[in-house]
Structure 1
């Protein structure tokens, strides 16, 4: 378009020279001469105006030229202020978001995923696959593991355990645990009867072993323990069972209210997290999650055809038919976007302003000139043609008078 606009100006200059030479012989060429002369003036004037926006015409430091390069910092600040005042104010964002039904759109998409060749779905799946494969897996896995570890460390598990134990005791869900401990003790005693008899024999004197009293004592101890365990198992009101329940209740209370107990639980939790076996388990957990995401990304059609796809379609249908859920989700999305505008709006504005201010004059000139594009040269073309028409009218009036 620069060549077209410049070429038109050259054509008008050539036309002017030719008609000027032959006008005395052919008076009618005066109209053409006037058109060409005025077109040159209009074309040159608009060339100067367009050029003065972005640079000095002919490199001459004429005042009030190269307007955009000289004012690029003010342009950046003004553009940033325009973005802030018209797009990034929380109130403006909230008003715009009220007209956006994000939940409804998501519901329609989930209920009726794009059909045909599924290019959108496969494109998104391919992008996800490339991203997962392109990341530094060791570094990313370390970040994931560190994130999980940080969440686990920040979690105060002691009150959770105490509340869970209190609820279990209140609903008698701890009784199977006590019965299991008693049965485990009985099996442990039966499996180690010979060990107990040997311990009694080793600690008995020679006279007791010679008279066989050590065997009798060991039998009495084993029978007594068996009787104790049987009594605990059969009698819900057994004193030791009551003592165990009391100890569990005390433990539940201490887990919630005792700082020393909570500190001990936190220390144990830290030791478990730092254990190499736990770290290996976290590594394996990340690898399993990454493998699952890759399988899903590589075959999105299979995912949508399985139970997960059924669940997603059911969720889409629910979003379309449940206005309360849709309002809740839309409200959540709106608050999230408004919150992002409030939290990051000033940062976005500063980014725009500082980026433009950081550009050199040549960069901002090229980018703005290319952004406006062909219309700049159409200004020159229109100026040439309009100027010529004005000259033609003036010449016609002059001849008529």
Structure 2
């Protein structure tokens, strides 16, 4: 067999394999030469020592078997002795077919859905993600990366029309909401355990401040004076009436404030209950609420407010992303670490995530396996013939040399058996 390229261009593992191959080839060739020597010696002394005929028969057949298998092994990689013998140099002559079959074999057997899914299910992707996120330094790095993308993402949102789309969808959803029943439910929840009485307490406080406000009292006195006849004005009845009104109102407010069961509080309870019931059942109230909602949504001030809020939000994001002490990065890093820890502690979520990874990756492999097959085939087709032959021979040539040993052994035993059979049948 012709020698292989110099070891100078090989990696250390391949150089070691090449050295082992050469030793095995030398040993196989040495065994073949040894058989030749033993055969010649046996034939030379066979006349004086008849038993050597068995040795000669064995070594002769062993040489034939060894040479035949040497030819078979060499024919895989090159032409024996350089002779243009048909059906030799099998691997170099069939490079393209081998490449196509190799790619197809890998596609059908290694990238088939079942083996790919089984292999993917062996990997706990969620645990890997959890371990990665739970590391604070990695979470910090990820938060910095995400924060750098925030301004670009905001610009992309504005340019893509996504903001207008979202605003329109939100507005449409708000328009579908029935305001009156919703308000009724909110007021019912607010009135639970008479919490609406706090509102009455605030009203009482406002009225009490009004009764102690001199300017308000002067305005009320002027109003009373305007309504009195001239004779009453002469006797300053307005001051008397104002004093009585203020005293009576103050006393009433003090009573309401001090008594949780005051009749006015019960009246306020009935008022709230009646208002809530009208909101829930009255078509007139529902129509009025819907009109107010539409008028509110149509006001230009609302659009201007939304625009101002968006611009303020964008400015905050951009400034915070550039800041050394970014709040977004800090909270995002803490969030990533917490997600990692929560994920590590929740096997159910990890199982769901792993199932999702398996489905996604299996689908990806299924969609790309034809491309992988073509890539492998193209790579093999693009290899230099000498490189391809060398690569295969280095990796499997040492094992192929055992074929030569087996050929010599099997051939020798067959020759010995034939010699024994010849003696039994024909005698001397």
Classify the TM-score, shorter chain: 0.5 to 0.7
Cα deviation for residue 175 of structure 1 reads: 10
1:312 equivalent to 2:321? Answer no
Aligned match for 1:45, one of 52, 60, 68: 68
- Aligned residue in 1 for 2:231: none
- Aligned residue in 1 for 2:409: 385
Change (3 A) 1:126 1:335: closer
Change (3 A) 1:121 1:329: closer
- Aligned residue in 2 for 1:35: 58
Change (3 A) 1:352 1:273: farther
1:254-284 superposed Cα distances (whole Å, 9 cap, x missing partner): 79xxxx9xx9999889857864634735986
Residue pair 1:76, 1:354 contacting (<8 A) in 2 also: yes
1:359-388 superposed Cα distances (whole Å, 9 cap, x missing partner): 222443344345546532222221121122
User: Structure 1: how far apart are the matches of 2:73 and 2:137?
Assistant: 45
Aligned match for 1:343, one of 367, 371, 393: 367
Structure of higher CA gyration radius: 2
Change (3 A) 1:74 1:251: farther
Change (3 A) 1:367 1:278: same
- Aligned residue in 2 for 1:280: 320
User: Structure 2: how far apart are the matches of 1:357 and 1:144?
Assistant: 46
Give the match's secondary structure for 1:64: coil
1:13 equivalent to 2:33? Answer yes
Q: RMSD value over aligned CA atoms?
A: 5.8
Question: What is the correspondence of 1:206-355 to structure 2 with a 5 Å cutoff?
Answer: 246-250=291-295, 275=315, 277-278=317-318, 280-281=320-321, 285=328, 288-290=331-333, 293=336, 309=345, 311-312=346-347, 315=349, 336=360, 339-355=363-379
Give the match's secondary structure for 1:172: helix
Aligned match for 2:166, one of 157, 165, 168: 157
- Aligned residue in 2 for 1:322: none
Residue pair 1:166, 1:249 contacting (<8 A) in 2 also: no
Aligned match for 1:397, one of 421, 425, 428: 421
Change (3 A) 1:278 1:124: closer
Structure 1 stretches lacking a partner, 5+ long: 111-119, 178-182, 184-215, 217-233, 320-325
Give the match's secondary structure for 2:182: coil
User: Structure 1: how far apart are the matches of 2:404 and 2:394?
Assistant: 16
Change (3 A) 1:333 1:17: same
User: Structure 2: how far apart are the matches of 1:124 and 1:58?
Assistant: 62
TM-score (norm 2): 0.51
Residue pair 2:140, 2:329 contacting (<8 A) in 1 also: no
Change (3 A) 1:275 1:61: farther
